[in-house]
Structure 1
Amino acid sequence: MLDWPLLLKALILGIVEGLTEFLPVSSTGHLIIVGSLLDYTDEQSKVFKIVIQLAAILAVCWFYRKRIVQVTLGMWNREPERRFAINILIAFLPALVLGVFFHHAIKTYLFNPLTVAGALIVGGLIILYVERRPRKVRFESVDDITWREALKVGFAQTLAMFPGVSRAGATIMGGLVFGLSRRAATELSFFLAIPTMLAATVYDVYKARDLLVMDDLSVFAVGFAAAFVAAALTVKTLLRYVSNHSFEVFAWYRIGFGLLVLITAYTGLVEW
């Protein structure tokens, strides 16, 4: 028999994952907070969050499927595709190395709503600072960046290991600081998400393999479908948005959401 309340939770969390994964607002932070509100924090929820993250990755792969095929086929004999692939690999390496050493400790001690709320606020203030400081665009396209900029953005991405910082936020803001245009920084964040999130997902699935059971298939399917659709729509909308807008609206959202969590915790309105 289907557990309709649980399926509703899966639908809500799938939409949350898809909407927030590629925005500079922290999908992990939102899943922790919303999951706590929905009282969905058991062992099943841990595997569920891995599954819906995979859906978001596949949504980006589908959106950029032509480019991915072009790079995959051309990187062996064409310089532009080879340089692009190498830059993505270089940008991915810092997160890979540091993730191996700190992944377990971070998930054990920092994955809670109050820690996330603090990171949301601090991250929002950093976005406001980056947006308001003078900057010069040196790279209009993601194809123009050198390995040095790729490495710098890769190190910026490692800040997102702290839940609530936002992987998208760290890479996009890092890209802006290091001279990328808004579109180039955003697209680099999307492409860099593929190996980074895929590696994290494979690792998490391996660690949680004993928790995978067929009885959870309907719950996972609902969350997966919701996350895929929401993520695909978000990627397309965000690229259109950044052409003429700053990221300040996301900064104010982060600050407001973080303060709301802290206020409700302080006043006892919500037991986080």
Structure 2
Amino acid sequence: MEILKAIILGIVQGITEWLPISSTGHMILFDQFLHLAGSKKFVDTFLVVIQFGSILAVLILYFNKLNPFSKSKSPRQKKATWDLWFKVLIAVLPSGIIGILFEKKIDEIFFKPVVVAMALVVYGIIMIWLESRDKEPKIKKFSDLSYKTAFMIGMFQVLALVPGTSRSGSTIIGATLIGTSRFIAAEFSFFLAIPTMFGASALKLLKAGFAFTGFEWFIMLIGSLTAFVVSIVVIKFLMAYIKKHDFKAFGIYRIILGIIVFAYFTLLA
């Protein structure tokens, strides 16, 4: 039963981490029906460790694009790859600094079902509004993405510290609002996830320690592998989807999910 729970949670992680629909909103609902056996420390660590599976999926899918040491790349292409990494690191700074300083306080204030529901609905409305504008994107390739723009996208990622907003949702909305294409917004969001999620996950894992049983480590491995496989599929799906569609469907889904979260915790729970 615990293995099945780990697989289900890995699937939820793999899907909701990359689609702009809020992993927190889904985890809050699934937590009402799925309860991993073990201490709170183990459960919290499990939810952190499975994120490494999602990060690995991005690294593998975009290995060549993100590898500045590739022998197949020309000096100009290597320089462009380093430039992309520096833009990612610049964009990560705001959420990294504010997250380290205030994440615990933010969670204490905002980690409530009503706040999560409101964030889901509000961001869903914004997403639909953005896609309703008839505006041609100014930034269609990474070479057009300036350091200033990258930093501004990073400022939008700070909003993801509020549960329910979605890290990918915040960065995609921010990037689109600034003027990037959907393709650039989505890919840059993926790349931002590497240092953001790795840093946050590693920090939480170090704080939690490593004193778990063999079976608990096995459960974390199952969840991570599931998140990895599902992330591969979902990332490929999203990049193919946005070539022909916009983000309105995700906005509508967020609104529906927000209403469900609000209704469940105010009327049923």
Same-fold call, TM > 0.5?
A: yes
1:147-158 counterparts in 2 under 5 A?
147-158=147-158
**C-alpha distance after superposition, 1:184-208 (max 9, x if no partner):** 1111111111111111111111121
Instruction: Give me the whole-angstrom Cα distance separating, in 2, the residues matched to 1:150 and 1:56.
Output: 22
Q: Where does 1:151-166 land on structure 2 (aligned, <5 Å)? A: 151-166=151-166
The aligned counterpart of 1:104 is 104
Aligned residues of 2:25 and 2:261 also touching (Cα < 8 A) = no
Q: 1:71 to 1:192 in 2, by over 3 A?
A: farther
Structure 2: which amino acid aligns with 1:144? Answer: D
Cα 1:232–1:11 shift into 2, 3 Å: same
For residues 76 and 155 of structure 1, the distance between their equivalents in structure 2, rounded to whole angstroms, comes to 31
Distance 2:170 2:27 in 1: 18
Question: How far 1:71 moved relative to its partner?
Answer: 6.2
Task: Tell me, yes or no, if structure 1 residue 251 matches structure 2 residue 251.
Answer: yes
Structure 1 vs Structure 2 CA RMSD: 2.1
Runs of at least 5 residues in structure 1 that lack an aligned partner in the other structure: none
Q: Which amino acid aligns with 1:44?
A: F
Instruction: Verify the 8 A CA contact 1:71 1:85 in the aligned structure 2.
Output: no
Alignment of 1:138-217 (within 5 A): 138-209=138-209, 212-217=212-217
Query: Structure 1 residues 141 and 214, CA, compared in 2 at 3 Å: closer, same or farther?
Result: same
Q: Residue 63 of structure 2: which of 62, 65, 70 is its match? A: 65
1:120 corresponds in structure 2 to 120
| Percent identity of equivalent pairs | 35
Instruction: Tell me the matched-pair count.
Output: 265
Query: Contact 2:117–2:164 (CA<8 Å) still a contact in 1?
Result: yes
Change (3 A) 1:71 1:94: farther
Local SS of the residue matching 1:37: coil
Other-structure match for 1:262: 262
Native 8 Å contact 1:44 1:211 kept in 2:
no
1:12 to 3, 8, 29: 8
2:54 maps to amino acid: A
Q: Contact conserved, 1:14 with 1:223, CA < 8 A, in 2?
A: yes
Pick one of 24, 27, 30 that aligns with 1:28: 24
| Residues 68, 82 of structure 2: 8 Å contact kept | no
Alignment partners' CA distance in 1, 2:242 and 2:265: 34
Moved more, 104-113 or 149-158: 104-113
- Letter of the structure 2 residue corresponding to residue 37 of structure 1: F
Partner of 1:93: 93
Contact 2:66/2:85 (CA < 8 Å) preserved in 1? no
| Contact 2:90/2:147, CA 8 A, preserved across alignment | yes
Contact 1:117–1:258 under 8 Å retained in 2: yes
Contact 1:115 1:163 in 2 (8 A): yes
Task: Name the SS for the 1:200 alignment partner.
Answer: helix
Q: Amino acid of the residue matched to residue 90 of structure 1?
A: I
Query: TM (normalized to structure 1)?
Result: 0.90
Q: Structure 1: which amino acid aligns with 2:8?
A: I
Look up the match of 2:80. 80
Q: 1:211 to 1:259 in 2, by over 3 A?
A: farther
Cα deviation for residue 66 of structure 1 reads 1.2
In the superposition, relative to structure 1, how do residues 71 and 128 fare at CA in structure 2: closer, same or farther (>3 Å)? farther
CA contact (8 A) 2:67 2:81 kept: no
Q: Alignment partner of 1:165: what SS?
A: coil
1:135 alignment partner, SS class: coil
Structure 2: gaps spanning 5 or more residues: none
Change (3 A) 1:29 1:173: same
Instruction: State the shift of 1:113 in Å.
Output: 3.2
- Residue 110 of structure 1 and its aligned partner are, at CA, apart by 3.0
Q: 1:247-272 CA distances to partner (integer Å, 9 max, x unpaired)?
A: 0101111110110121222332xx2x
1:23 to partner: Cα distance: 0.6
Give the AA of the match of 2:66. Answer: I
| SS of equivalent to 2:68 | helix
